[in-house]
Amino acid sequence: MLHEEVNREEMQLGAKVANLTVAEIRKAIEKLLAELKQQGKQKMPAVQHGKQSLKELAAQNAGLSSLELKDPNLRQLNREMKRCGIDFSPVKTGKGEYLLFFKGRDADAMTHAFNQYTKKLVKQAEKPSIRKMLAAFKEKAAQMNAQRAVTKNKDRGIDL
């Protein structure tokens, strides 16, 4: 009999403790959710990727490396760097000269992007320009037209 009462009291105590822990866990989760909502409203500054200013790139504390470029095709270079996921900053140093800063840890990706960029430039240089071809064809057409005999007065078969 005494044993049954002790067991019953143990069960009641276990149920009370379980209810208390569930309530405490619920309160902690609600508090955490409220904090997360408030942080979401504050909007933490997002880390910018791709082309950015030198100041923004240096603020990321990743160690900068640089590369000197002469007369680059910046639009195509930007496209390749973006494709490879490199954070970079082009700085103009003179007429047609740029200094390209990028994160030190992106050195391998940078060499890959630069190889792709140079391949595209070589391929583009090999391809004939459409404007030059069009000018050549216009010249040929003008020569062919010059060889033709021009007759202003045509004989229409009327005699007077």
**Where along the chain do its domains lie?**
54-141
| pLDDT tens-digit map of 20-44 | 677 788 888 898 888 888 877 666 5
Asked if pLDDT for residue 152 goes beyond 60, the answer is: no
Asked if pLDDT for residue 85 goes beyond 60, the answer is: yes
Topology of domain 54-141 in CATH is: Ribosomal Protein S8; Chain: A, domain 1 (3.30.1370)
Residue 88 and residue 57 in contact, taking contact as beta carbons nearer than 8 Å: yes
Asked if pLDDT for residue 56 goes beyond 80, the answer is: yes
Q: For position 67, what pLDDT does the model report?
A: 83
pLDDT band at residue 149 using 50, 70 and 90 as cut-offs? low
Asked if pLDDT for residue 117 goes beyond 70, the answer is: yes
Partners of 92 in beta bridges: 98
Asked if pLDDT for residue 135 goes beyond 90, the answer is: yes
Q: For position 45, what pLDDT does the model report?
A: 59
Residue 63 and residue 104 in contact, taking contact as beta carbons nearer than 8 Å: yes
pLDDT band at residue 136 using 50, 70 and 90 as cut-offs? very high
Asked if pLDDT for residue 154 goes beyond 70, the answer is: no
